[in-house]
Amino acid sequence: MSNRLKNESSPYLLAHADNPVDWYPWGDEAFEAARQQNKPLFVSIGYSSCHWCHVIAAESFSDIEVAEKINRGFIPIKVDREERPDIDAVYMSVCQSATGSGGWPLTILALPDGRPFYLTTYLNKSGMLAMLDAAETLWQTQRYSLIDASVHILENMLNGMEVFSEYSRKDELDRTCFTQLNRSYDRQWGGFGRAPKFPMPCRLLFLMDYWERNGEERALDIVEQTLIRMYRGGVFDHISGGFFRYSTDSKWMVPHFEKMLYDNAMLLWVYSRAYAITGRALFKKAAEATADYVLREMTGKSGEFYSSQDADRGGSEGAHYMLDEKELGRVFSEEDAGELCSWFCVRGSGIANLIDNPDYETVPDSVERTRADLCSRRTELRTMGRDDKVLTAWNSLMITALSKAAGYLNRDDYRAAAERACGYVMDNLFDGETLYVCSRDSLRSVPGMAEDYCFLAMALIELGRTKQARDITDKLLEHFFDRENGGLYLYADNVPPLFLRPKETADSVLPSGNSVLIQVLNALSEGSEDDSFSDALRLQRRFMEAAAARYPAGSAYAVSALTKNN
């Protein structure tokens, strides 16, 4: 049997089309069913390459007992967080506010109008059954308590959404941001904080800017040591290139093995710029291996870039990426297999890494030949699942990164790839009036979010397509910009609203659209007779100066943009 997801285009939704859970996609049909049947919503948000999303699907959503409870007591809605970043962002912000943490899969119980009364992340089968039983009983016997819980959750959320006041100590943001990053820097293993450890490209870009502005050698040292440690760890794929999503430990050894387009775009940008600054060959090697991986395995026929690559093979996370000396000895000579495993610090079977290899910067020719051969064999096997959605925001980041890397590394082929992908996005994801979040099989999804417009405008400026950047930015300001207080709302004013319409300002793995808007408006206002961009820039600077003042290290990309434009 198939459910309502069988007509969707998202690979993540299609993967759940044969579940016994009677899934609805997000939309009017689901909300009308909830009103008609007087049932709460069961909303599950995830994405195609997420390991724990696969686990919960196998344990719970494929299980008849769980499915019967969901279908009996709830209207179930499945959401691809990459296809609907607005829905994901709103519920995730509520989850983090209410519970102090977040992640995927995100599980929400909500009133029929979508307002949540319970939020959590992964649950095993027994936890899922207990939650469903408790919620169904409360809905039938003490519904008012769930309505009160929803009101309380949203009141706390709204109270925590600060109204930024003007910040007058702009000169302190830069220094404070550096001080905070220096304090949180892991002096032993690089990066910031403890496990789990994510690459934080926005912070590294800020530190390179800070070094250039102030001559602070400590800032550049943090960047260099972090990039070296990441490269030497297992979070970098030493065989096929590219970076995994994050490390589960402090020393970058054991990753979560999914590969995301946005991580590899931002890290290509960082490593290629670090090479331009330092001339260190290792940084060039990591940048080129990352770009070449994307162009080889994550690029479509028309130059578009796919979203992600799975972590799982045969139900085992990361099995595709493990080196096994005995297995390799059946393909290569025992001598070559042993040398490869020894070079990459693998004894028997394990993750390729260079943590304990003191000669990590000079690879023997024989090891490189075996590595390249193994990479080709892996590519030919294509055993990893791939989400082939084309996302506007992530494609725009990769276009920007490739264009920058082309200059830093003297690679004209990277510039050509960026131009080709940009042409695809403009031809297929922008109809002249509306930019869309994503497409797959010639089907476009919903109207774009603020980051789609901002990241694409940045990419267009990077490629010198100023007129197109102006057109995109005009539409962004028309439908997303708060002309009274500054700041971009998450989604446009001409689409069906959610129960919150936030302005996202934090820079983490990705810069926020609000941070990127500063540099976009700065570029477009220079030499322009159109005052609209200059007026918007003044408002946006004031808004982001106040937002960044709360915790400058959490808005590192914005701080750089603000400082560059002084």
Which three-class secondary structure state does DSSP give residue 207?
helix
Q: Among 447, 557, 443, which Cα is nearest to 497's?
A: 447
Least confident piece of the model among 178-187, 203-212, 326-335: 326-335
CATH topology identical between 4-160 and 170-310+387-564 = no
Q: Is the pLDDT of residue 168 over 80?
A: no
Q: In this structure, are residues 307 and 392 in contact, taking their beta carbons and an 8 Å threshold? A: no
**In which band, very low, low, confident or very high, does the pLDDT at 441 lie, cut at 50, 70 and 90?**
confident
Least confident piece of the model among 80-94, 371-385, 398-412, 463-477: 371-385
Least confident piece of the model among 189-193, 379-383, 514-518: 379-383
Give the pLDDT score at 385. Answer: 81
Q: Is the pLDDT of residue 159 over 80?
A: no
Between the alpha carbon of residue 435 and those of residues 88, 299, 476, the distances in Å are 19, 21, 10
Q: Among 74, 75, 78, which Cα is nearest to 88's?
A: 78
Q: What are phi and psi of 436, to 5 degrees?
A: -110, 155
Q: Is the pLDDT of residue 166 over 70?
A: no
Which three-class secondary structure state does DSSP give residue 185?
strand
Q: What is the pLDDT of residues 17-32, one digit of tens each?
A: 999 999 999 999 999 9
Q: In this structure, are residues 518 and 476 in contact, taking their beta carbons and an 8 Å threshold? A: no
Between the alpha carbon of residue 32 and those of residues 74, 109, 264, 437, 498, the distances in Å are 13, 16, 40, 25, 15
pTM: 0.94
Rounded mean pLDDT, 118-141: 96
Q: Which two tokens stand for residue 548?
A: 């960044």
Between the alpha carbon of residue 468 and those of residues 430, 464, 472, 519, the distances in Å are 11, 9, 6, 16
**In which band, very low, low, confident or very high, does the pLDDT at 141 lie, cut at 50, 70 and 90?**
very high
Q: What is the pLDDT of residues 443-480, one digit of tens each?
A: 898 999 999 999 999 999 999 999 999 999 999 999 99
- Domain boundaries of the chain, sorted by first residue: 4-160, 170-310+387-564, 316-384
Q: Among 389, 247, 370, which Cα is nearest to 318's?
A: 247
Give the pLDDT score at 379. Answer: 83
Number of Cβ within a 10 Å radius of residue 193: 12
Taken in order 243, 245, 251, 254, is the CA torsion positive or negative? Answer: negative
Give the pLDDT score at 565. Answer: 60
Region 4-160: CATH code: 3.40.30.10
Give the pLDDT score at 248. Answer: 95
**In which band, very low, low, confident or very high, does the pLDDT at 171 lie, cut at 50, 70 and 90?**
low
> Is the preceding peptide bond at 105 cis, omega within 30 degrees of 0?
yes
Residue 350: its H or E element: strand 349-351
Which three-class secondary structure state does DSSP give residue 528?
coil
Rounded to a whole number of angstroms, the distance between the first and last alpha carbons of the chain is 61
Give the pLDDT score at 314. Answer: 61
Q: In this structure, are residues 22 and 4 in contact, taking their beta carbons and an 8 Å threshold? A: yes
Give the pLDDT score at 497. Answer: 94
Q: In this structure, are residues 154 and 111 in contact, taking their beta carbons and an 8 Å threshold? A: no
**In which band, very low, low, confident or very high, does the pLDDT at 97 lie, cut at 50, 70 and 90?**
confident
**In which band, very low, low, confident or very high, does the pLDDT at 164 lie, cut at 50, 70 and 90?**
low
**In which band, very low, low, confident or very high, does the pLDDT at 530 lie, cut at 50, 70 and 90?**
confident
Q: In this structure, are residues 103 and 121 in contact, taking their beta carbons and an 8 Å threshold? A: yes
Q: Which residues of 450-465 are buried (b: 16+ CB within 10 A; e: fewer)?
A: bbbbbbbbbbbbbbeb
**The architecture CATH gives domain 170-310+387-564:** Alpha/alpha barrel (1.50)
Q: In this structure, are residues 95 and 21 in contact, taking their beta carbons and an 8 Å threshold? A: no
The C-alpha atoms of residue 14 and residue 438 are separated, in whole angstroms, by 16
Identify residue 468 by its one-letter amino acid code.
Q
Q: In this structure, are residues 56 and 105 in contact, taking their beta carbons and an 8 Å threshold? A: yes
- CA 417, 244, 202, 403: dihedral to nearest 10 degrees? -10
**In which band, very low, low, confident or very high, does the pLDDT at 526 lie, cut at 50, 70 and 90?**
confident
**In which band, very low, low, confident or very high, does the pLDDT at 493 lie, cut at 50, 70 and 90?**
very high
Give the pLDDT score at 5. Answer: 96
Q: Is the pLDDT of residue 170 over 70?
A: no
> Is the preceding peptide bond at 196 cis, omega within 30 degrees of 0?
yes
Rounded mean pLDDT, 487-492: 97
Percent residues over pLDDT 90 in the chain: 87
Give the pLDDT score at 298. Answer: 96
- Pairing verdict, β 312-313 and 316-317: antiparallel
Q: Among 13, 84, 79, which Cα is nearest to 446's?
A: 84
Q: Which two tokens stand for residue 220?
A: 């550049």
**In which band, very low, low, confident or very high, does the pLDDT at 157 lie, cut at 50, 70 and 90?**
confident
Q: What is the mean pLDDT of the chain?
A: 94
Give the pLDDT score at 1. Answer: 65
Q: What is the pLDDT of residues 215-263, one digit of tens each?
A: 999 999 999 999 999 999 999 999 999 999 999 999 999 998 999 999 9
Give the pLDDT score at 251. Answer: 96
Q: Is the pLDDT of residue 564 over 60?
A: yes
Rounded mean pLDDT, 262-288: 98
Q: Is the pLDDT of residue 382 over 80?
A: no
- Candidate ranges 96-100, 492-496, 524-528; pick with highest mean pLDDT: 492-496
Tell me the angle at which helices 450-462 and 392-409 cross, rounded to the nearest 10 degrees. 20
**In which band, very low, low, confident or very high, does the pLDDT at 158 lie, cut at 50, 70 and 90?**
confident
Q: What is the pLDDT of residues 291-326, one digit of tens each?
A: 999 999 999 999 999 999 987 666 677 888 999 999
Q: What is the pLDDT of residues 98-113, one digit of tens each?
A: 888 899 999 999 999 9
Give the pLDDT score at 162. Answer: 57
Q: Is the pLDDT of residue 58 over 60?
A: yes
